[in-house]
Structure 1
Amino acid sequence: MADLLSRVATGRDRDAFAVLFRHFGPRLKSYMLRRGADAETAEELVQEVMLAVWAKADRYVPARGSVAAWIFTIARNRAIDRLRRQPPVRFADIDDHDGAADEPDGEARLMEGEMEMRVRGALDALPDGQRRIMGLAFLDGLTQAEIAARLALPLGTVKSRMRLAYRKLRASLAEYMEDSR
């Protein structure tokens, strides 16, 4: 790499610079993305760094470090310069915020996940006929008469299986419902 940079410094060798660009361009972009730049800003910074490499190639001193270290030092400095040019981010005082969060907090999400897991477990424990009827009623939104027609069962059978399923679900989930209050 040092010989390529030397060719850029002494003879403004475009082919040598193209090789350097192909080698360091993706690495520089990745570096900028890891430092928090968005994709567009990272691309701009890569361009700025490589222009600086082109313009300052004669200032590279091999005794001070590798070509990569020199180029990434330029990249770090350009990233810092970009941050300094950006306007400061204003944060609202937490005391000024009155609104309730739109999304549930972590504890509420955890409770919802636990509830869903328990309900699924209770549904899975139902006999197949009851589970199927409950699925048609609540997942597909069918009425008892529609379920009876779809499954070719008497309406009374659908009603009694639903009533039994409700009792079993209530019994399975009663302990959980008392704990969550």
Structure 2
Amino acid sequence: MVAFEALFREFGPRIRAYLLKLTRDGQAAEDLMQETMLAIWRKAGQFDPARGQASAWVFTIARNIWIDAWRKQKRPAFDPDDPALAPAPQADAPDLLEQKQSGQALHEALKTLPAEQIELIRLSFFDEASHSTIAARLGLPIGTVKSRIRLAFGRLRAALEEMK
């Protein structure tokens, strides 16, 4: 215990001043200084005088403890009530029925389109292929692909309106 007291008297005030400069908070500097002194005491067997001076080793430990504390501060606290973590609400019966009817209406409206336009819509929206990929795959200019997709959408929209 005498050795720890001597270590504390020697390095405690210097470490506290160093941490005060880093934290700009007296209480935080005091807490981190005490944490540093405990870490030094626990890791004393790891000190190698051949690798450098004891003070450099001590202040490296202090700096690492400060960095750890700073990182913990910057990390947001886990909030189990955060709406982003809540599961998506389950659709109720009327919503499920509406989704099913909308899906059926879309399938029926797609049947009214020519096969070429159905293929373009499938590639673009269901396979999520880019317009340039579709153009390369079908051997068409990109402008033609874009205009045919726009035309297919217009016909699809009209077919869905007729079904209402």
Same fold (TM over 0.5): no
Normalising by structure 1, we get a TM-score of: 0.40
Give the structure-2-normalised TM-score.
0.44
